[in-house]
């Protein structure tokens, strides 16, 4: 596991007003805590932190935290929470946990998919249901991630956590959890109803009814004369 060095300063002033002042000069408020120590308010250079993120810094990266003017330190930490502005994505607050390299810890390790699924080639929809797996290990053995080859996954197939090679790590996520599946494509069939055209009587011309009535009277008169 890659290790990085990050400088920090202890904060004397706390609270929202002090936090706003710190952010105006590109400093981000943070807190450092551990299992057997009181939380310490600190602050870090936000620009330096963002540069490390661009280089691949993650929550599972071991960070040597240098407080104030320290040149060296054996203070090893992990990031436990990162708060950002939801609109501008600016760094607002960080939590660092001081860890013991000899003690096991629980961490969330990402699951990365490799290959192109046969089911996707045939029109299926790839759905990754599980993105991380919780394991327990010593900090120096935290893996960067676990990979799962999905090349042979066809439509209707799925892989569970039990199908993955997770090494000898103690796993806390249920082995029955579905990691990824290829769903059948959803096709919306629109039913086209047969259009029923109602029968409409042909309109009669004006005066046509009177002509028909007169014709009927003439026919009746002829019939009567024949009988006489």
Residues forming a β-bridge with 157: none
Q: What pLDDT, on a 0 to 100 scale, did the predictor assign at position 19?
A: 87
Retrieve residue 154's tokens: 């066809």
Residue range 111-170, pLDDT digits in tens: 999 999 999 999 999 999 999 999 999 999 999 999 999 999 999 999 999 999 999 999
Residue-wise pLDDT for 52-95, tens only, equals 999 989 989 999 999 998 888 989 999 999 999 889 888 999 99
3-state helix, strand, coil in the chain (%, to 5): 20, 35, 45
**Interatomic CA distance for residues 3 and 75, integer angstroms:** 12
Give all domains of the chain, ordered by start, each with its CATH number: 3-98 (2.40.240.10), 105-183 (2.170.120.20)
Q: Which alpha helices (DSSP H) does 81-171 contain, by range?
A: 118-121
Maximal CA-CA distance, the chain: 140
Taking the model in full, what pTM does it have? 0.72
- The angle at the Cα of 2, spanning 23 to 42, to the nearest 5 degrees, equals 25
What tokens were used for 160? 């569970």
């Amino acid at each position: 596991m890659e290790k990085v060095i990050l400088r920090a300063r202890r904060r004397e002033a706390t609270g929202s007003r002090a936090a706003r002042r710190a952010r105006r000069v590109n400093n981000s408020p943070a807190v450092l805590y551990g299992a057997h120590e009181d939380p310490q308010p600190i602050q870090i250079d936000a620009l330096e932190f963002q540069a490390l993120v661009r280089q691949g810094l993650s929550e599972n990266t071991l960070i040597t935290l240098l407080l104030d003017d320290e040149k060296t330190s054996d203070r090893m930490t992990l990031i436990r929470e990162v708060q950002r502005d939801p609109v501008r994505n600016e760094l607002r607050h960080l939590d660092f946990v001081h860890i013991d390299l000899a003690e096991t810890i629980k961490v969330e390790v990402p699951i990365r998919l490799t290959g192109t699924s046969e089911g996707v080639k045939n029109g299926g929809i790839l759905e990754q249901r599980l993105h991380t797996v919780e394991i327990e290990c010593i900090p120096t053995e935290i893996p960067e991630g676990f990979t799962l080859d999905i090349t042979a996954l066809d439509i209707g197939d799925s892989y569970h956590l039990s199908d993955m090679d997770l090494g000898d790590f103690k796993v806390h996520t249920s082995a029955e959890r579905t990691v990824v599946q290829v769903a059948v494509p959803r096709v919306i069939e629109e039913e086209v109803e047969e259009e029923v055209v109602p029968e409409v009587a042909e309109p009669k011309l004006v005066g046509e009814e009177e002509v028909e009535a007169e014709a009927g009277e003439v026919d009746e008169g002829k019939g009567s004369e024949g009988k006489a």
